[in-house]
Amino acid sequence: MKNFTKILFLVGFISQAAIGSASAEDVFPEPLKGAKMNDLRLVPTQTGGRLKPFDEFARETVLSLTGMRSFGKLDPSEMLISMMIEPKVWSELPIIRVSNDELKKQMLLDLGRKYFSPSELMKNNIFLQYAQGIEGQGGQVTSKGIDVTTSKKDPRTEELKRVVDRVTRFQSLVGGQLWMVMPDQAVALVEGQNQKWINLNEAMKLDHPAMKPVLGMLKAYLERNSQDFNEQSQMVRVTISNSVPSMQDHNYKIKAEVLYNMLRPFLQAMIFYLIAGILWMFATGHRFARMMAKFLTFSAMILHAFGFALRCYVAGRPPVTNMYESIIWVSFGVMTFALLIYAKHKHHILLTTSTILAGLSLFAADAAPMVMDPTIRPLVPVLRSNYWLTIHVLTITLSYAAFMLAMGISNVSLFQFTRATSENNEQRISLLNQLSYRALMFGTVLLAAGTILGGIWADYSWGRFWGWDPKEVWALIALLAYMAVLHGRYAGWVGKFTFPLWTVICFSTVLMAWYGVNFILGVGLHSYGFSNGGQAVMASFIVFQGLFCAWVSVRKKQNSTGTHVKV
């Protein structure tokens, strides 16, 4: 925010020049035919506290502007180049996302539109007032060394803040301040020290030889000369890479990250899982369909694991720190537990449930990049280089996976009660309950172990084993809830019907511990995971689940009048 006034100034300048040319139809620039982006994508750059490929930088920038990691016909990398070359065109195009209707009303914007052009936002009074007021605000350091702003957030202000940030980002991009193009050669590098990079603007002023191909590349794009562009971008990759000290350490990581971005392994896995799930559900009778389902499930898991490994490699740590990463891990956990139980019980329903759950979870993770940020970011100090942390989080989230599987199977079990009672059906229900009991066993042991490991970690790094922190407390609540059900089952009060019912209900405590503490309560020491959004989705899931339970209960009552189903 430092250069904000400067940037505002710049914006005024640019948008004023462009006001006259606003047209009714938005014509987005076409991709440059024959231009290859491969080299540009691999150009190293430094933003967000780490070295990364240009491709990732472009995707993050596009995400922060539009709310999606790629937008329109252009490849994100190409889109950034195009923006830098033709700022006037882009500042008239609707690329800035404004998603809060209340805010739109306040800003007198068209409610029917999702995207607005930077220049029209820059002319908006409310936007300008807020943008000027935002400067003096800084972060806070609390007693436990974590940056938090826990005062209840007003969604309008939050969104306005983001919109201001989006526009600022656009302006600094087109002003040459966002792309950190090369390491600062003026400052001698000290081992392990903070290496500063300079942005395009500063580099141009220095007249560094590495800038020649950069300018050449931009020029080639402006002239729409694809051959020249390809040659120059290759030069850019070589010269910039050469200017990075110890580039050989980063080379593979940069390539891996681009591969990860281009392949989108979790998206592929999601599609495979969902198709496999449908096949398992309807087509297990056919030999070919069964083979197909097996193959798809297997491939999805391979892709899933590969993506996971790639992400670990790029980030240099296990992905355990935010909602997005935990969903990826949990959905893999669901598959693992399903296979473990399948190894013994050989029941298709395990694969049906788990593939559908994994597919839907991955879909949820991918669908809302603004809520669940898929960006790989450096860790806050408290989470760094800690063995116990990794073990703790992986264990506890693995327990969520087991509970999720139990929830899925229990829902199937509940569904059986809507059918007419028969000997066959009875047996089926017993078996399903047996399966979800297995999953609960895994779940409770892992949750107990994970919670305790969390205590050990907290003891090791903060000096207290247990501090009634909301995240800890909700893990305990979930554990107690499942323990109550298991003890109830042991005592015989929880029967064939109430066991799956309670298993399903108890999953809401897991949702609360997993999602709710960070997204709804928003207090406590786990603040590095706090975020906003998705409440409506969560609420509708819970409402839907509740309605389903109610419907099953009613159907069951209708079925059981005069039959012998024991509860």
Q: Which of 158, 202, 373, 459 binds other proteins (CB under 8 A)?
A: 459
| Number of residues near other proteins (by CB under 8 A) | 66
Question: Could you tell me where the beta strands, DSSP code E, fall in 148-305?
Answer: 180-183, 197-199
Token code pair at residue 506: 């108890």
Select 408 or 455, whichever has its Cβ closest to other proteins. Answer: 455
C-alpha span between 34 and 224 (Å, rounded): 10
Axis-axis angle for helices 247-263, 265-282 (nearest 10): 40
The C-alpha angle 14, 16, 18, rounded to 5 degrees, equals 75
Binding flag, residue 343, other proteins (CB under 8 A): no
Task: Please identify, using beta-carbon distances, which residue of 206 and 481 lies nearer to other proteins.
Answer: 481
- State the SS3 of 475-507: HHHHHHHHHHHHHHHHHCCCCCCHHHHHHHHHH
d(CA 238, CA 236): 5
Three-state DSSP string of 211-241: HHHHHHHHHHHHCCCHHHHHHHHHHHHHHHH
Nearer to other proteins among residue 142 and residue 540 (C-beta): 142
Q: Is 448 in the site for other proteins (CB under 8 A)?
A: yes
What is the closest distance, in whole angstroms, from the C-beta atom of residue 300 to other proteins in the complex?
A: 29
Q: Which stretch binds other proteins (CB under 8 A): 57-65, 384-392, 418-426, 535-543?
A: 384-392
- The C-alpha atoms of residue 380 and residue 403 are separated, in whole angstroms, by 29
Identify whether the C-beta of residue 438 lies closer than 8 Å to the C-beta of residue 403. no
* Interface of this chain with other proteins, residues 486 to 505, rule: CB under 8 A: 487-488, 490-491, 493
Q: Which residue, 76 or 522, has its beta carbon nearer to other proteins?
A: 522
Shortest distance, CB of residue 268 to other proteins, whole angstroms? Answer: 32
Interacting residue with other proteins among 464, 546, 547, 554 (CB under 8 A) = 464
Pick the closest to residue 529 from 538, 540, 541, 516 (CA basis): 516
| 557 in contact with other proteins (CB under 8 A) | no
Nearer to other proteins, 351 or 447 (CB): 447
Work out how close the CB of 75 gets to other proteins at its nearest, in angstroms, rounded to a whole number.
25
Least distance from C-beta 46 to other proteins, angstroms?
Answer: 5
- Do residues 104 and 97 touch, judged by C-beta distance below 8 A? no
468: left (phi over 0), alpha (psi -120 to 50) or beta: left
Q: Which is nearer to other proteins, 29 or 522 (CB)?
A: 522
Structure tokens belonging to residue 157 = 């202000």
CB-CB neighbours of 301 under 10 Å: 20
348 scored as a contact of other proteins (CB under 8 A): no
Taking the complex as a whole, the smallest distance from the CB of residue 365 to other proteins amounts, in Å, to: 25
Give the span between the Cα atoms of 250 and 405, in whole angstroms. 39
- In the complex with other proteins, which residue's Cβ is closer, 286 or 377? 377
Min separation Cβ 369 and other proteins, Å? 22
> By C-alpha distance, which of 411, 427, 446 is closest to 337?
446
- Check residue 474 for interaction with other proteins (CB under 8 A): yes
Token digits of residue 332: 């893999």
Instruction: Give the integer Cα–Cα distance in Å for 464 and 448.
Output: 18
Let me know: does 448 contact 484? Beta carbons within 8 Å.
no
CB of 518 to other proteins, least distance (A): 11
Give the distance from CA 198 to its chain's centroid: 29
Q: Cα(567)–Cα(559) distance, rounded to whole angstroms?
A: 13
If one asks whether residue 316 binds other proteins (CB under 8 A), the answer comes out as no
Closest CB 141 distance from other proteins, rounded Å:
6
470 binds other proteins (CB under 8 A): yes
Q: By the 8 A CB rule, do 292 and 285 touch? A: no
Q: What is the DSSP letter of 93?
A: S
- Does residue 401 contact residue 333 with C-beta atoms inside 8 Å? yes
Among 145, 245, 316, 546, contact with other proteins (rule: CB under 8 A): 145
Binding residues among 180-199 for other proteins as defined by CB under 8 A: 180, 194-197
The distance of closest approach from Cβ of residue 289 to other proteins in the complex, given in angstroms and rounded to an integer, is 25
Kindly state whether residue 157 participates in binding other proteins, applying the rule CB under 8 A. no
Q: Which is nearer to other proteins, 205 or 345 (CB)?
A: 345
Closest CB to other proteins among 12 and 533? 533
| Distance of closest approach, residue 180 Cβ to other proteins, in angstroms | 7
Tell me the CA distances in angstroms from 394 to 114, 325, 448, 498, one per residue in order.
38, 11, 13, 30
Q: Residue 172 or 233: which CB sits closer to other proteins?
A: 172
Residue 415 binds to other proteins (criterion: CB under 8 A): no
Per-residue binding string, other proteins, 44-83, x by CB under 8 A, is: --xxxxxx--------------------------------
CB atoms within 10 A of CB 71: 18
Contact pick of 115, 363, 466, 528 for other proteins (by CB under 8 A): 466
Verify binding: residue 524, other proteins, rule CB under 8 A.
yes
CA quadruple 352, 355, 361, 363: dihedral sign: negative
Q: Which residue among 24, 141, 188, 420 contacts other proteins (CB under 8 A)?
A: 141
Residue 529 CA: distances (Å) to CA of 324, 346, 520: 10, 38, 12
Residue 517 makes contact with other proteins by CB under 8 A: yes
125 in contact with other proteins (CB under 8 A): no
Residues found near other proteins in the complex (CB under 8 A): 46-51, 136, 138, 140-145, 148, 150-152, 180, 194-197, 378, 381-382, 384-386, 441, 444-445, 448-449, 452, 455-456, 459-466, 468, 470, 473-474, 476-477, 480-481, 483-484, 487-488, 490-491, 493, 517, 520-524
